[in-house]
A and B are shown apart, each in its own frame.
Chain A
Amino acid sequence: MNAHAHGWAALAAAALLTACGGGRDTEDALDTVPASATAAPEAFTRYAAALPADEQREPLNVGGLVPPTSEMAEPEPITR
């Protein structure tokens, strides 16, 4: 899967997260960062940029998260 595909997967996950609304105290896949978001630096950036603000949910579980980094890549464009 290329980086763009990872990005779309991340966006889709974020959209689903938005659709779920609150979900406080629930344990589901959206409580953690999806594997697709950690496949490449640009995918992680797109994932993080797409996370919606949420007044109700508990923080994502990022205990085992190892974000991918790049020493060579230029920043990803961020759509506002």
Chain B
Amino acid sequence: MRTTRRPGPVLAALPLALALIGNALASSHREAPFITTAPKVDATDFYMFRSYEPGRGDYVTLIANYAPLQDAYGGPNYFSLDPNALYEIHIDSNGDAKEDLSFQFRFKNTLNNGGISLPIGDKTQNIPLIQAGTVTDVNSPALQFRQTYGVTVLRGDRRAGQVSMATNASGGTSFDKPVDNIGVKTIPDYAGYADRHVQSLHIPGCSLPGKVFVGQRQDPFAVNLGTIFDLVNAPASVLLDPNLKGAAPNTIGDKNVTTLALEVHKSCLTQGSETVIGGWTTASLRQARVLDGTPPSGLQTSEKVGGAWVQVSRLGMPLVNEVVIGLKDKDRFNASKPVHDGQFADYVTHPTLPALVGIALAGNPAALAPTNLPRTDLVAAFLTGLGGVNKPANGVPAEMLRLNTAIAPVPFAQQNRLGIVGNLLAGGTDNAGFPNGRRPKDDVVDIALVAAMGGLCVANGDGNTLGLGTACKPSAVPLGTQVFNLHDAVDQAVVPLLPAFPYLNTPIPGSR
């Protein structure tokens, strides 16, 4: 019998126990040395939440964003995904830090009808752009570039598990991806055009059909990116004033990303009595590549790839590889599996971010850093899930986004931008936010700042109320209760979103 884990006593009795997660500042756009060379497989953000679209509350939405910092005008080829890559979304259903279910996306690029050519004098010539007219429909004849994809379902190990193909409403295994938002003259109604690419997804072994969408979206992540990476180039007085939480513009508010979105019934993601699932996304490339010095006509013919898949990008909890893992180990982290996360434990127990914030804001690495080392508070937040909220009954410590599927979704208007932390501070009923999964509205930057700078230890009090260790107490936190005021001066909650799947906003057009 499936039991429902509801918010437990820790959550109910300890308001500031909140939440949280100790990462911090920007998400994972270009966060590691190697991945900057392969932007098409660079995962930027991962979201996992009970769907809050009316009537869809028993479904879980999974969103993996790739290809960061897209300028909408980036034609003529724009930002198609890599047909020589493997994109995956993994689910751990029993807390053992290993995937039990994986959705694999493989893309195929083709020249529609052999390409579009125009008669020029006595010759017929292939056009240099990807479109030759107005685009309104799926697989429009005005497009000469077509990208399709298939969704493979793996049960068990992602390489050795049981393989099956997901199908659309017609029983086919091929799905169309909309072309990017070239501009309003080419695609007058991009929202409607993209919506026609939201398709039914029939998953073998799952009795209830889900949905799938892959396509360009406005980047939903909001952050004060340039300021943060410029040694936090803002006065502490601003960053600690709650009234200024939206004082700065969203640095990446004019960028697009490419989204892989699934909506799957929660019963298809859980196992037995365990209601907590872990999720993360990865991207892999073939291990070997040779370049063709004389590529033939076609699409992306300059390379030939072979060998096994090699994981080059990994993203579960936001910001981990960005501001927790040391520069020298970022590529290693991107290639790693959650079950082996013990190798990175020192970065969590002895984090450098609080010291860097001290250097940036006070000229002293010890000025603002919590003194409770090892940081047992961050270990709990990062690697195990929160007791009474999203900690699996038999969990192995590992970094991934964890969602208790038994906690009901909350309508958008009632969602607290600070997730569980904000909800508890406000005395509300929204337990469906970060770090219990992650919704697009959750301001993970602000939440993470609070956690990294010791918010959990202030909440733990002098009596070890949260069980985070006796050294994790208010006196170990130089900022004291001011830590709860920390923010990056960019408000995640005002980013435009859609009210329904795939939730992320229509991408910014290349021209208006």
Contact = CB atoms under 8 A, between A and B. Distances in A.
A70 interface: yes
Contacts of B286: 67, 69
B308 A67 contact: no
Contacts of B207: none
A79 to B, nearest CB: 14
A10 B309 CA distance: 20
Contact of A48 (B163, B290, B296, B309): B290
A19 B134 CA distance: 57
Contact of B307 (A51, A59, A70): A70
A59 B292 contact: yes
A41 B292 contact: no
A41 B307 CA distance: 4
| Most B Cβ at <10 Å: residue of A33, A65, A71 | A71
A76 interface: yes
Given A44-B288, A59-B292, A71 B307 contact: no
Contact of B308 (A51, A63, A76): A76
B307 A69 contact: yes
A72 B310 contact: no
Contacts of A61: 293-294
B291 interface: yes
Contact of A75 (B160, B163, B307): B307
Interface in B275-310: 286-294, 296, 304-310
B185 interface: no
A58 interface: yes
Contacts of B305: 67, 69
B162 to A, nearest CB: 12
A41 B306 contact: yes
A50 B307 CA distance: 14
Contacts of B340: none
Contact of A63 (B159, B291, B296, B307): B296
B306 to A, nearest CB: 3
A69 B306 contact: yes
B113 to A, nearest CB: 25
B307 A42 contact: yes
A13 to B, nearest CB: 14
Given A69-B286, A71-B159, A72-B160, A59 B306 contact: no
Contacts of A49: 288
Interface in B246-288: 286-288
A28 interface: no
A66 B310 CA distance: 19
Interface string B430-451: 0000000000000000000000
B460 to A, nearest CB: 41
Contacts of B292: 59, 62-63
Interface residues of B, number: 20
A20 interface: no
A76 B287 contact: yes
Contacts of A38: 306
A71 B306 contact: no
B159 A76 contact: no
A62 B290 CA distance: 8
Contacts of B160: 72
Contact of A45 (B159, B291, B294, B306): B306
A71 B309 CA distance: 7
A42 B72 CA distance: 40
A73 interface: yes
A74 interface: yes
B306 A44 contact: yes
Given A58-B293, A63-B296, A75 B306 contact: no
Contacts of A44: 288, 306-307
Interface in A11-46: 33, 38, 41-42, 44-45
A1 interface: no
A41 B308 contact: yes
Contact of B288 (A58, A66, A67, A72): A67
A58 B292 CA distance: 11
A73 B290 contact: no
Given A63-B296, A71-B159, A76 B307 contact: yes
B306 A72 contact: no
B227 to A, nearest CB: 38
Contacts of A45: 287-288, 306-308
A49 B163 CA distance: 30
Given A67-B307, A69-B308, A75-B307, 14 more contacts: A44-B288, A59-B291, A61-B293, A62-B293, A65-B304, A66-B304, A67-B286, A67-B288, A67-B305, A70-B308, A71-B159, A72-B160, A76-B307, A76-B308
Across the A-B interface, the 9 shortest Cβ-Cβ residue pairs = A67-B306, A59-B293, A48-B288, A45-B307, A73-B308, A44-B306, A45-B288, A75-B310, A45-B287
Interface of A: 33, 38, 41-42, 44-45, 47-49, 51, 58-63, 65-76
26 contacts: A41-B307, A42-B307, A42-B308, A45-B287, A45-B288, A45-B306, A47-B288, A48-B288, A51-B290, A59-B292, A60-B290, A60-B293, A61-B293, A62-B291, A62-B304, A63-B296, A65-B304, A67-B288, A67-B290, A67-B307, A68-B306, A72-B159, A72-B160, A74-B159, A74-B308, A76-B307
